[in-house]
Structure 1
Amino acid sequence: MARILIAGESWMTTSTHVKGVDEFSVHSYVEGVGPLRDALTARGHEVVHLPAHLVPTGFPDDAAALDAYDLVVLSDIGANSIQLAPGVFERFTPGADRLAALRDWVGAGGALLMVGGYLSFSGFQARAAFRQTAIAEVLPVEMLPEDDRVEAPAGIAPVVTDAGHPALGGAGEEWPLLLGYNRVVARPGAAVPALVGADPLVAVDEYGSGRAGVFTSDCSPHWAPPEFCEQWPGYADLWDGLVRWLTRS
């Protein structure tokens, strides 16, 4: 079984309550990693979650730190959070290029999976900003230079084009509706066993001695509604299949 690092999939919110002439703010912390983490641990994988607010200080700096894992998952966490460690952003001292280290680690035999979201691929207003980083050459897809979100509030049905591909884990051909995704373009030679609209939903490929994959929608709400991430039996099959294919296990 695989040891997996999931970076991201958490957020903080602030709401302002105005009551007459008085106002106050309420803050909350939310994790969206639950469905994915539970699906993977139920299949015997070991999952370490690095919440978004800890990514700038805690993301692995080099191959030695990355070697603690078989697979790194980036989910709804932008390139800035990985690149701009406090020493670089606050104290203006050179630090590790952690996305370059991740690229080299995958090329040497590691595994990477990017999951969609507002801060994945190019993302909301292109703020995820992975397109011009070292990791862009690792992914089996090319990213758009603009906001790449496709919102589908009425729901959009995934289309499985290769149900037998091992990366899908035998999840079947009928998948629940999704509510959106990040639009990307498959690289030549990449396997794309599932589409959403006319765009890649699942894509995988080799990179050097390692492997990389993408799931361009969400692993939890809002793009992945409860019918997909909580009620669909194929949800755990899909993620287990991706992990096994990427890590060659």
Structure 2
Amino acid sequence: MKKILFVGETCTISQTYTKGYDHVTISRYAEAGRSMVDALKENGIDIELFPIHLAHSNFLDTLETLNQYSVVIFSDIGSNTFLVPPQTHANAVRMPNRLKLIKEYVSRGGGFLMCGGYLSFTGYEGKARYGMTPIADILPVEMLPYDDRIECPEGIFPRVLQPDHPIMKGIESDWPDFLGYNRVKAKTQASVILGFENQDVLLAVQDYQNGRTAAFASDTLPHWATPEFIHWKSYTPFFTNLLHWLSKD
């Protein structure tokens, strides 16, 4: 397996403190995805974190550069980041459609994984809007045309539907719960490996032309991913297995 490219799970946070007449605004940069990337590195995966603010202007825009990677992961990063680069928005400069390139990359043998979040699939208030992009063609799931979040503050437990699938090798059958997910519907040709107790999809996978794709409908990090899931002993092995399957190892 070549390198894995993890795109997303970073942000800039601005906070305003109001104290009577005065207010102070502070900002900071956060890499929530760093913990997952580091966990996978410790498990032998060669993986690189691509921050969202860099993806906006500098995401890979040729097949040659994409082909350096076995699998590309999008996690909590909206389609506008790829479709409205600053060069186009500010100066009306024509740029490559980077989501079309992802589709071509997969069709030629690459792997692609989308993980859930407020800016995944359709997302919060429909802002992720991947259902209107070439990514909709390659995913193993169909997306809702409106806000697809299912919030479960009480927790919802997954069920293993295909325990003999290679992705589930060595993975415990009793999963920790999640606090929410993106509601998606599996395509006819997809294999649903994990579902929720209400029959919704958690993990669906499929072959797409010469490549493979997967949709993990909940988050890999808080808040939907609980501390019990993140610290679960099968957390890293599960995602390691999934990446090996996507890269056809």
TM-score (norm 1): 0.97
Contact 1:119 1:127 in 2 (8 A): yes
Q: Are 2:14 and 1:43 equivalent residues in the alignment?
A: no
- Report the equivalent of 1:243: 243
Report deviation, 1:13.
1.4
Q: How does 1:64-83 map to 2 (within 5 A)?
A: 64-83=64-83
Contact 1:35 1:219 in 2 (8 A): no
Q: Are 2:4 and 1:4 equivalent residues in the alignment?
A: yes
Report deviation, 1:58.
2.1
Gaps of 5+ in 1: none
Partner of 1:244: helix, strand, or coil?
Answer: helix
- Point out the more displaced range, 8-17 or 33-42: 33-42
Structure 1 consecutive aligned stretches of length 4 or more whose deviation exceeds 4 Å: none
Distance in 2 separating the partners of 1:53 and 1:134: 22
- Identity across aligned pairs (percent)? 40
1:115-159 C-alpha deviation (Å, 9 max, x unpaired)? 000000000001001001011000000000000001111111011
1:202-234 C-alpha deviation (Å, 9 max, x unpaired)? 1100001000001110111111011101x2001
Contact 2:57 2:87 in 1 (8 A): no
- Report the equivalent of 2:13: 13
Counterpart amino acid of residue 208 in structure 1: Q
Q: Are 2:87 and 1:87 equivalent residues in the alignment?
A: yes
1:80-137 C-alpha deviation (Å, 9 max, x unpaired)? 1012222211110111011001101100101100000000000000100100101100
Counterpart amino acid of residue 245 in structure 1: W
Distance in 1 separating the partners of 2:62 and 2:118: 27
Distance in 2 separating the partners of 1:164 and 1:172: 12
- Report the equivalent of 2:208: 207
Counterpart amino acid of residue 18 in structure 2: V
Report deviation, 1:169.
4.0
Partner of 2:235: helix, strand, or coil?
Answer: helix
Counterpart amino acid of residue 248 in structure 2: R
Gaps of 5+ in 2: none
1:32-87 C-alpha deviation (Å, 9 max, x unpaired)? 11332123212211111111111112211021110111110000000010122222
- Point out the more displaced range, 47-56 or 70-79: 47-56
Contact 1:55 1:82 in 2 (8 A): yes
TM-score (norm 2): 0.97
Counterpart amino acid of residue 156 in structure 1: I
Q: How many residue pairs were aligned?
A: 248
